[in-house]
Amino acid sequence: MIMSRLARAGRGGPLLLALGLFAALVLPWMIYPPVALDIACWALFAAAVDLLLGFTGLLSFGHAAFWGGSAYCTGLIALHTGLPFPVAIVGGAAFAALLALPIGFLSVRLSGIYFAMVTLAFAQMTYFVANQWRDVTGGENGLQGIPRELFGLDLSDSFSFYYAGLPFVLVGLFVAWRIVRSPFGRVLVSIRANPDRARALGYPVDRYRLLAFVLSAALSGMAGGVFAMGHGFASLEGVYWTTSGQAVMMVILGGIGTLWGGAIGAALVVQLQDFLATAGFAETGIITGSIFIVVVLLFRRGIWGTARHLLASRRKAAAPGEVAAEPRKSVDTPA
């Protein structure tokens, strides 16, 4: 019903936004709060990866370095300084951005598979540093018992912490949304479509890519920081390559270049993993892998991308008058 209303309404933006916000707010009532927080963090992480993959055309396989690196940094700030947790999270995000500068500087000159491989290599380096630097990172054991301090407020309950962590995720998503809607974002899209032409038009392509890379890393770092706070824990798992892979998978499931699709992918994957683990099913990978294959084969645009595409084509059929206006609204702009 909502769908058909949306289709008729032509512009479903505000309604969808309200729906999304509502879903984010009621999520811990529907499902177990820590799982809800995981979904929120992964949604932001996926959006950050999509910023690079969907809007700049760079497939990074190394974003775990920023998510996990920030998780460690956030944890260390909270553990050793006792500063309020928002400071720790912002510090973690800043650290991720700093880390992304040299990595990005060296890798944005490449594209396609080479870019993916180089970022993967840097992420693995980060992993080994984190593994070996035991005095700081705790090695195998990770950083445990990260406190959530906020001016004496009791946030130990995961239900209340969800609402403390959610603003960071929402701000992060808003920033991502602003970026892709800005002139800067349009340049990124043009670089994705045709880097040579963008260069010919006078845009410093590598610098744009680097900035997109750093911004994406900062947002990933923010997500990783909230995640570490939520779990009271930062571990090697966060900087491992499977974490990068999972984020990319969420983006592909939800729809590349849709920004919000990542959130749907995140909700799907996290919920599925939680469900399978609770049900005692060991081979989670088989199920998520099969779903991934089905989505890639049947819905190339991803779940959200396909839904949006169907809506758009229905809209065209229902209101031919609007068709003329449609092409101006590029497919790359999220609803």
Partner 1 sequence: MRVTGWSGCLAATGLLLAGCAGGPGGGGGKISDDKVVLAVLNDQSGIYSATSGKETIEAVRMAVADYQAKYGDKVAAKEIVVMAADHQNKPEIANSKAQELYDRQQADVILDVPTSSAALAVATVAKNKKKVFIDVGAASTELEGKSCNKYTFHYSYNSYMLAHGTGTEVTKDGAKNWYIVYPDYAFGQDMEKTFSAAIKAAGGTVIQSDPTPFPNDNFATFLLKASNLDPKPQVLGTMQAGGDLVNLVKQYNEYKLRDKGVGLAIGLLALSDIHSLGPDALAGTRYTDSWYWNTDDKSRAWADKFQAKTGKRPTANQAGNYSAALQYLEAVQRGGTDASDEVVKQLEGYKFEDMFARNGTVRAQDHLLLHDAYLAEVKPAGEVKEPYDYVKILKTIPAAEAFQPQPDPACKL
The site for partner 1 (CB under 8 A) is made up of 9, 14-15, 17-19, 21-22, 25-26, 28-29, 32, 34, 38, 131, 134, 139-142, 144-145, 156-160, 163, 231-233, 235, 237-238, 277-278, 280, 282-283
Least Cβ distance, residue 102 to partner 1 (angstroms): 27
Q: ∠118-121-125 over CA atoms, to 5°?
A: 140
Least Cβ distance, residue 154 to partner 1 (angstroms): 9
Instruction: Assign 234 to helix, strand or coil.
Output: strand
Give which of 175, 165, 141, 149 is closest to 72, Cα–Cα.
141
C-beta closer to partner 1: residue 15 or 98:
15
3-state SS, one letter per residue, for 265-311: HHHHHHHHHHHHHHCCCCCHHHHHHHHHHHHHHHCCCHHHHHHHHHH
Gyration radius from the chain CA atoms:
20
Instruction: For residues 139 and 42, give the distance between their C-alpha atoms in angstroms, rounded to a whole number.
Output: 23
Instruction: For residues 93 and 243, give the distance between their C-alpha atoms in angstroms, rounded to a whole number.
Output: 17
C-beta closer to partner 1: residue 111 or 124:
124
Least Cβ distance, residue 212 to partner 1 (angstroms): 29
C-beta closer to partner 1: residue 190 or 273:
273
Instruction: Assign 246 to helix, strand or coil.
Output: helix
Instruction: For residues 308 and 263, give the distance between their C-alpha atoms in angstroms, rounded to a whole number.
Output: 15
Least Cβ distance, residue 267 to partner 1 (angstroms): 17
Least Cβ distance, residue 53 to partner 1 (angstroms): 25
State the CB neighbour count (10 A cutoff) for residue 32.
Answer: 14
C-beta closer to partner 1: residue 115 or 233:
233
Instruction: For residues 54 and 161, give the distance between their C-alpha atoms in angstroms, rounded to a whole number.
Output: 31
CA 155 to centroid of chain Cα atoms: 25
C-beta closer to partner 1: residue 114 or 281:
281
Instruction: Assign 143 to helix, strand or coil.
Output: strand
Least Cβ distance, residue 75 to partner 1 (angstroms): 13
C-beta closer to partner 1: residue 141 or 182:
141
C-beta closer to partner 1: residue 94 or 276:
276
Least Cβ distance, residue 144 to partner 1 (angstroms): 5
